[in-house]
Amino acid sequence: MSFLCAIATLGELLYDYDVNIIQKNVSVVNIVSVVNIELGGCMRNREEQQRSYHHGDLRNALIRAGLELLSEGGAAALELRKVARKAGVSHAAPYRHFADKQALIAAINEEGYYRLAESIKSARAEEPDDDIFAQLLAIALAYIHFAIDNPWLMREMFSGLTVEREAYPGLYEASKLVFRQYAEVIMRGQQQGNIIQGEVGGLAGVLWSLLHGVAMLIIENQMHPYVDEPEKIEQMVLMSIQSLYRGIGR
């Protein structure tokens, strides 16, 4: 129980009862009962505050809150006070893990890359390892669907305007997890003789450029009427990978 809370409550009660206590014939027992009730409420309020401020997993809770705000209002909504309010913690709580707004955005972007990498990995796992075309198509569809499902996150991850990636090693490493997925398939294709020889990084970059271009055109509503027709989107992705494979395949 907070000492200040108890004093404040007791003071209010004494003020209320002071003048009329004799006239109302209020017993000491009654006053104590009321004090106990009021102080009990004070203790409950304090316990609620403690649950709010001492979050068991504050960092991840703030990242989740930031992701929700991002999806609701874009990058402009990512203010530390708003994120704290969304997470149900004090305005000062975010500073325990994030020095400023930039650090929070970097963490949100890092989480985005982890999610994207996991989506691609899961999609690839459903296709045979030695079927390079199927692997490339799985990567492409996972990438496009991730962008469609997370447009604001995708924009923020690749904007390059809000956060300097090099300043946050964790973000930089997370972004490489996605690129490695492309490079791994390209390298396996070269080993099998299904993809032309050449610098793996360069060929993987060509793949990524193709995917990202299509993804951004879709989420920026520049591919109407494909945006609202999943079958047409998948057909377009298929044609893109077919064209790419004709260029780099054997």
Report percent pLDDT > 90 for the chain: 44
The band of 7, judged by pLDDT with boundaries at 50, 70 and 90, is very low
The band of 57, judged by pLDDT with boundaries at 50, 70 and 90, is confident
Q: Averaged over 163-177, what is the pLDDT?
A: 83
Q: Is 74 helix (H, G, I), strand (E, B) or coil?
A: coil
Q: Is the distance from CB of 96 to CB of 140 less than 8 angstroms?
A: no
**What pLDDT does residue 196 have?**
95
Q: Is 78 helix (H, G, I), strand (E, B) or coil?
A: coil
Peptide bond before residue 128 is cis, with ω within 30 degrees of 0: no
Residue 75 DSSP code: G
Of 62-76, 148-162, 193-207, 228-242, the range with the highest mean pLDDT is 193-207
**44 has pLDDT over 50:** no
| Average confidence score pLDDT of the chain | 78
Q: Averaged over 4-15, what is the pLDDT?
A: 36
Cα–Cα distance for residue pair 185/191, rounded to 1 Å? 10
**235 has pLDDT over 50:** yes
The band of 26, judged by pLDDT with boundaries at 50, 70 and 90, is very low
Please tell me the pTM assigned to this model.
Answer: 0.72
Bridge-partner residues for 209, per DSSP?
Answer: none
199-231 pLDDT per residue, tens: 999 999 999 999 999 999 999 988 876 667 888
**195 has pLDDT over 50:** yes
Cα–Cα distance for residue pair 4/196, rounded to 1 Å? 75
